[in-house]
Copies of this chain bind each other. A is one copy, B any other.
Amino acid sequence: MKNTFGTSVCTTLFGESHGAEIGAVLDGMAPGVRVDEGWIASRLALRRPAGDISTGRREADAFRIASGVKDGRTTGTPICILIPNGDARSGDYESWRGLARPGHADWTGYCKFHGFEDWRGGGHFSGRLTAPLVAAGAIAQAALAGRGIRIGTHLARAAGVEDRPFGDLEVDLAALENLPFAMLDGGAAERAQAAIRDAASAGDSVGGVLETAVLGLPAGVGEPWFDTVEGVLAHALFSIPGVKGVEFGAGFALAEMRGSGANDAFRETTGGRVATATNRAGGVNGGITNGMPLVVRCAVKPTPSIAREQETVDFLKGGNAVLELRGRHDPAIVHRARAVADAVVALALCDLLALRFGTDWLAGEKGGTP
C-alpha cells in the first residue's frame, strides 16, 4: 500500500516539498462527522514553524477540501485535502544536488528512485507532507471526540529538558490543545526553548521525546497477532520524520523491572468498571486495549539539517565531499511534530475502531445526526 495507511479508514499522502500542491486523501471516514475548518487550521497552526526555534520557511497552509465534505459534514466518501506550496526556494537546494545530506533521504531516495525522484527540499520525503497529514488527522480527531475519545501529545523531553509527567489526563489534554509549545511545565518549556535557541546559535539541532495519551478508548480493540494496537500505531508513527523509537506505557523501562513491579493490578472502580491500579502497559494487554489511557512515546532525532560542515559523498560524481547546508532549517522539529503525532494516532485509531465497530461508529452516538 506504500503511501497509504489503513484498512477501513485509509490515509494516502502525496506531494513534494517544492511541488505546486501537496495533499492527503482520507477515505472510509464515517458520514456525518462535523468538519470545522477552524479546528483544522488550529491543528495546522500547532505544526507550523514559528518564532526563532523553527525554519524560516513560512507556509500559510491555506488548505482546501476538494471532496468528501458537504455542508460542514463528512459525506462518507473520500476527503481530499489540498495545500498549495508557496514559499519554496528550490535554488537553495540545487547547489548540493548529488551530495547526500547526512541523516536525510537523498541517498536512499536515489537508491530507490534512480535519480528520477524530486529531490528538491527532500521532495516527497519532506516533513512538509505532515501538513496534510495533520489536516486529515484533525478530521479523525473530531470523529473520535464525538465518541468521547481525546488525544494529546506533550514533549516529554526536548533538547535535554524534561517536562513533568502526565497527571490528570482530562486536565492535561485540555491544556495541550492551547499550548503552542507542548510542555505542561511552564518552566521546562522556557528552558527547552532556550536550549533549542542555543543549539541553533551553535549551528546545530536537537531532538526529544513525544508522549501521546489517548483517553476514552473502549476496551477490546486490536488483534492478538500482527494487528496489535501497538503494531498498528507504531507502523504509522514511524512515518513521522525523525522518529526512531516507539514505546508503549513504561516501554523500555519495563525491560529493567521485575514482573512483580511491572504488572498492573486489575481493580474494580465505580460502577463495577475494570481498571488497573497502575498503567505501565500503556492501556494495551496482549495487543488489545484494556480501557485504560493509551500511552505511547516516540523518540525524535535531532533535525539532520545543520549549519555545520559535514562529511559526505557525491553520489552522482563519485568521491567524498564536504557539505555545508544553506537554506532555512529547523533547529528542532520535535515541538512541531506533536501535532503530527496527534494526527497519526487519531488516524490509526479511527481505522482500528471502524474495523471493530463498523464504518458508522465514528459518526458518534447519534450517528452523525445533528
Contacts and interface: CB of A to CB of B under 8 A. Distances in A.
A74 interface: yes
Interface string A293-314: 0000001111111101011110
B20 A66 contact: yes
Interface in A72-129: 73-80, 82, 100, 102-105, 107-109, 111-114, 116-118, 123-125, 129
A108 B219 CA distance: 7
Interface residues of A, number: 156
A289 B230 contact: no
Given A207-B255, A207-B257, A114 B247 contact: no
A21 interface: yes
Contact of A66 (B82, B241, B358, B361): B82
Contacts of A227: 1-3
Interface in A146-167: 157, 160
Among A20, A236, A302, max chain B CB count under 10 A is at A302
A255 B205 CA distance: 11
Interface string A12-28: 11111001111101011
Contact of A76 (B113, B232, B260, B368): B113
| Interchain residue pairs A-B with the least CB separation, the first 7 | A105-B286, A245-B247, A111-B220, A205-B259, A358-B358, A108-B288, A102-B263
A315 interface: yes
Nearest to A305: B259
A238 B114 contact: no
A367 interface: yes
Given A100-B274, A247-B252, 9 more contacts: A70-B117, A77-B113, A114-B368, A129-B225, A203-B260, A230-B238, A234-B238, A244-B249, A355-B358
Contacts of A342: none
Contacts of A32: 114, 116
A77 B266 contact: no
Contacts of A239: 225-226, 228, 231, 287
A68 B31 contact: no
Given A256-B207, A258-B205, A288 B111 contact: yes
17 contacts: A2-B227, A16-B77, A20-B64, A73-B116, A82-B82, A100-B274, A114-B368, A157-B256, A203-B260, A238-B287, A245-B245, A247-B252, A255-B334, A262-B301, A263-B306, A272-B318, A355-B358
Interface string A203-226: 111111100000000011111111
Nearest to A109: B286
Contacts of A124: 67-68, 75, 77-78, 224-225
A245 to B, nearest CB: 3
Interface string A179-218: 0000000000000000000010011111111000000000
Among A205, A259, A291, A368, max chain B CB count under 10 A is at A259
B219 A111 contact: yes
